[in-house]
């Protein structure tokens, strides 16, 4: 028995020695810069940082939030009376339950706080990832005339949002984020371009807010909701990794400040690794740092390439 225990201890030490280690990321934490980085999925749509979806007559859809390693996911919404903390393990996606909405539209804040072992983290502080998602409550007859958008601009920088419309010359009415806005637009190509930096008050400040919009033309309406969360201009973009694709395998070579690389449900504490994936399916590639920064790439099945989304 003593020999077996000694062998077990040696084996455990070898595993710890082989485990990948987190590395420092010498920049401002994403959460301090108001940069949203949580991953959401709902109704077949995948979102990074900011998510928007809808409920019909108060029936909330399933919403899942991606966890990293193990840790907690905290979800709050004052309007929907939600203040919940979920424990997760094994990089699991956590389903969020909403029971007290009572037909309201609600903004939710989510904070994902991963925990790593001492052998992986050492004395490095691991910061949380933060994100927002908005659920618009709709009547069934309004579903086909509503569309939701998200905007994640740098505070103080120019930012234009393209809104699709079936109208030719709609009147655009916007409320929320401190504005009362109305203007006639020429919708060239079925699109209206909103210059948010000229429309939203105090654009130079980091903020998170929701704009509700109405597009009118000849007695017909279209509804628009825009979730906006601006972040500090001092926040640096995360460098893209070098990717080498060979049919159903991708080799990831990330920068030195990346601690975790991932493809789909496989996570690796390292800067370089080869992953298998299904080139005919939906695939997500992730780069994560200890400062709560993340960068995602999605696989384009038609063009057979990875496309980065910041």
Per-residue model confidence (pLDDT) at position 28: 95
State the alpha helices, DSSP H only, in the chain: 2-18, 118-121, 196-199
pLDDT band at 103 (very low <50, low <70, confident <90, very high): confident
CATH 2.60.40 positions along the chain are 39-138, 153-229, 242-309
pLDDT band at 147 (very low <50, low <70, confident <90, very high): very high
Q: Who contacts 56 (Cβ-Cβ below 8 Å, separation ≥6)?
A: 137, 138, 139, 140, 143
Q: Which CATH class is domain 153-229?
A: mainly beta
Contact in structure between 243 and 167 (CB atoms under 8 Å): no
CATH architecture of 242-309: Sandwich (2.60)
Mean pLDDT of the chain: 91
User: pLDDT (tens digit, 9 = 90+) per residue, 238-263?
Assistant: 999 999 999 999 999 999 999 999 99
Please state the rounded mean pLDDT for residues 158-171.
96
Q: Which fold has domain 39-138?
A: Immunoglobulin-like (2.60.40)
Contact in structure between 50 and 227 (CB atoms under 8 Å): yes
Q: Is the pLDDT of residue 8 over 70?
A: no
Per-residue model confidence (pLDDT) at position 189: 87
Residue 197 — φ and ψ, nearest 5°? -65, -20
Per-residue model confidence (pLDDT) at position 309: 86
Q: Which comes out higher in pLDDT, residue 70 or 3?
A: 70
Q: How many CB atoms lie within 10 A of CB 113?
A: 17
pTM score of the predicted model: 0.89
Q: Is the pLDDT of residue 298 over 80?
A: yes
Please state the rounded mean pLDDT for residues 30-46.
94
Please state the rounded mean pLDDT for residues 292-299.
96
């Amino acid at each position: 028995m003593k020999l077996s225990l000694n062998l077990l201890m040696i084996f455990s030490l070898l595993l710890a020695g082989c485990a990948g280690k987190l590395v420092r990321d010498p920049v401002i934490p994403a959460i301090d810069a108001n940069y949203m980085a949580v991953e959401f999925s709902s109704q077949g749509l995948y979102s990074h940082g900011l998510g928007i979806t809808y409920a019909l007559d108060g029936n909330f859809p399933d919403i899942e939030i991606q966890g990293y390693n193990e840790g907690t996911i905290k979800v709050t919404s004052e309007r929907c009376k939600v203040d919940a903390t979920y424990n997760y393990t094994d990089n699991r996606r956590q389903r969020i339950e909403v029971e007290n909405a009572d037909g309201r539209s609600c903004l939710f804040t989510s904070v994902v706080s991963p925990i790593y072992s001492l052998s992986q983290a050492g004395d490095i502080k691991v910061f949380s990832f933060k994100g927002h998602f908005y659920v618009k409550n709709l009547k069934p007859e309004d579903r086909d005339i509503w569309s939701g958008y998200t905007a994640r601009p740098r505070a103080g920088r120019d930012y234009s949002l393209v809104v699709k419309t079936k109208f030719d010359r709609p009147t655009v009415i916007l409320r929320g984020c401190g504005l009362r806005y109305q203007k006639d637009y020429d919708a060239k190509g079925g699109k209206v371009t909103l210059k948010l930096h000229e429309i939203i008050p105090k654009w130079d400040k980091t903020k998170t807010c929701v704009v509700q919009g109405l597009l009118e033309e000849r007695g017909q309406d279209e509804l628009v909701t825009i979730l906006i969360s601006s972040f500090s201009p001092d926040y640096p973009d995360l460098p893209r990794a070098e990717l080498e694709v060979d049919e159903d395998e991708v080799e990831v070579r990330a920068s030195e400040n990346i601690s975790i690389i991932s493809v789909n449900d496989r996570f690796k504490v390292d800067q370089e690794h080869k992953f298998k994936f299904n080139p005919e399916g939906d695939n997500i590639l992730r780069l994560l740092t200890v400062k709560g920064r993340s960068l995602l790439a999605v696989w384009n099945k038609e063009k057979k390439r990875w496309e980065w989304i910041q």
